[in-house]
Chain A
Amino acid sequence: MPFEAPALAGGAGGAATVTTERLARDDLRRQIAALERKLGELFASAFPRKGIEWRVGAVGGPRVLDAGDLERIRDALVVRLREAQAEVGRRADAEEANRALIESMIAQPEQHRWVKVSNEHIGEGECRHWHSRPRWGILGILLGWWRVKLSSGCPLA
């Protein structure tokens, strides 16, 4: 069955326009492929962080897209990539600060009474957490005996 590529131009110079438009679409497709690769790399490096938006949205398919639709996808991928990079960066800063907090808690637990930091706060999976708690309950509170307890991980399913 014959198929007409999108936005075919007719008349004099039509062939040249068609070629130019096809080249433009091919170029946009290459850009989309490169952006998809970067987004995929970021997705893998961001794991196991949750709550980051990765969806770009469909423009309605399956069909051959014209240059305008391809541009919309390209632009949406650029925006999504930039937002995801910014979010991962923000979280990485917070996670670094939380790692420093854990070190400080371990060095001086009495300075961080009842502070609890979980693996999620440092960008890692599982349910482990560090908790500054008094030794021997009330006695530890009265005498200032504090320590950091590391939980043993996720409960068995």
Chain B
Amino acid sequence: MSEAVPEAGWIAPGLAQELQGLRLRYLVVERGSGRSPREVKQRLRKLSDRFTGGQAINLRHQSIPWAYRVFYRHIGLDPDEQPTPIEAVALERIKKGGFRSQNLLDDALTIAIVESRVALRAFDADMVEGRLGVRPSAPGEGLEGRPGELPSGTLLIADEARPVGLLFGATAAGRGVHPKTRRMLLCAVGVAGVPDVAVEEALWLAAGVIRG
């Protein structure tokens, strides 16, 4: 895994054909999270001023947010019950009246998601074995930290050993970023209708904010 260039994740054979346009890009940032510096907090405040309620309402008109909503429908999720990452961020903006600083990682993800509209998440890079990809769950497979088995065929983000999270869902226990994380893996999920340039830009934006 390289810090310089986003890597392409694997997509299980057959899945790429079935869900065309689904892709994963990720890169590793050689540091953990922590408190956000003043510049990041200031950037969040400016972003709050730029991101108005009108923009939030019109998100569905924009090609990238629409593409994620459509993809959610295609995989059996309702984006009105489980909002897409950009809509979740927009809802928070409306509810709280601004983007509130939480920690460096969450702030970086918020900035990158709002700027690019692309779905981003993060894992503890030291807890990921090999390359990341997307695959359906095997019969009897579960997600660490979640009781019971997953329904067979549940779409997962996985490394070469085990699932690290549900696609657009919960992260497996111990795979997420925590206060002792030393290296973070930023992961962007692209779907049909989301250009590669936007996916890579999202990763660069988040990594840039974290690296300072």
Residues of A whose CB lies within 8 Å of any CB of B are 1-5, 22, 25, 29, 32-33, 36-37, 39-41, 43-44, 47, 54-65, 69-70, 73, 77
Contacts and interface: CB of A to CB of B under 8 A. Distances in A.
Interface string B1-41: 00000000000111101110000000000000000000000
B57 interface: yes
A15 B39 CA distance: 58
Interface of B: 12-15, 17-19, 57-58, 60-61, 66, 69-70, 72-78, 80-82, 135-136, 138, 151, 153-155, 166-169
Q: Which 4 A-B pairs have the closest CB atoms?
A: A61-B76, A40-B60, A3-B14, A62-B155
A58 B77 contact: yes
A36 B75 contact: no
B75 A3 contact: no
Contacts of A61: 72, 75-77, 154-155
B80 A63 contact: no
B76 A62 contact: yes
A64 B60 contact: no
Contacts of A32: 70, 73-74
Contact of B13 (A3, A22, A25, A43): A3
Contacts of A43: 57, 60
Contacts of B167: 62
Given A33-B70, A54-B80, A58-B82, A63 B60 contact: no
A40 B66 contact: yes
A106 B19 CA distance: 58
B73 A36 contact: yes
Contact of A4 (B14, B75, B155, B169): B14
